[in-house]
Amino acid sequence: MLDFSKAPCFGRVEGLKTALTMLHDIKPRGTVIVETGTTRGSLGGGVEGDGWATLLFGWYCKSYEGKITTIDIVPEAIEECKEITKDYSDVISYRVGNSVEIIAKDLNEPIDLLYLDSANDPQITLNELKAAESKISNQTIIYIDDTSLAKKRPGGVCKGILAHKYLFDKGWRIVFDNGDQIIMKYKGETPSLLEKMIVGLKTKYLYKRVLRRGAL
């Protein structure tokens, strides 16, 4: 059992604990984590609003011989993240720039945990996933923020809906959905035509809802 008693303060507790526990069960040491959308201080919602995942990932990687790459297009956000995560900077690679390009061109190692939490645009999230596709395996955990397929999310943002549909068609399934975040794992299940139709219709509905609420 993964012990969080010595972990730094973090939010989004249920999702982050679940993702790291799953990761630890699959690969206890030497994991590679990639995060799009970094931890922010004054530029973000603080530990409760944003979760400060980079901080927790840094703690985990330092404790279990892993490493994390965190990517953000805003230089000031990366600078804030460096200050917040300075105790774990030896296991964190801070990258400023376009997440899709960095993942596709600069990251070469297999990814054990992919955390997608950058733009609110579902198409960008899908593009990030596709950029990482050659670096993920059937053991990779894909963790997406601000997304729910099971419940109506109050904020209206559902940045992972297109990525979910793309993964679902390839045999991945949601193993965690708390109304704010989803975690997907490969199950190797080929969806039936009816399942594809249901997921397709739900994806279209949620995407239209995102557009109506002006989340993009």
Interval 141-166: pLDDT, tens: 999 999 998 766 555 578 999 999 99
d(CA 204, CA 57): 33
Share of residues in the chain with pLDDT > 70 (%): 91
The whole model's pTM is what? 0.93
Domains in the chain: ranges and CATH: 13-212 (3.40.50.150)
Count of positions (residues) in the chain = 216
Segments of the chain with pLDDT less than 50: 216
Q: Give the C-alpha distances (Å, rounded to integers) separating 60 from 31, 55, 63, 67, 92.
A: 9, 9, 5, 9, 11
150: which 2 tokens?
């099971």
pLDDT of residue 16: 95
Q: Please tell me whether residue 111 adopts helix, strand or coil conformation.
A: strand
Cα 207 to Cα 210: distance, rounded to the nearest angstrom? 5
CA separation for the pair 142, 154 (Å, rounded): 23
CB within 8 A of 213, min separation 6: which ones?
A: 156
DSSP 174: E
Instruction: Indicate the SS3 state at residue 199.
Output: helix
Q: At what angle do helices 161-169 and 122-132 cross, to 10 degrees?
A: 40
φ, ψ of residue 37 to 5 degrees: the values are 90, 105
The amino acid at residue 214 is G
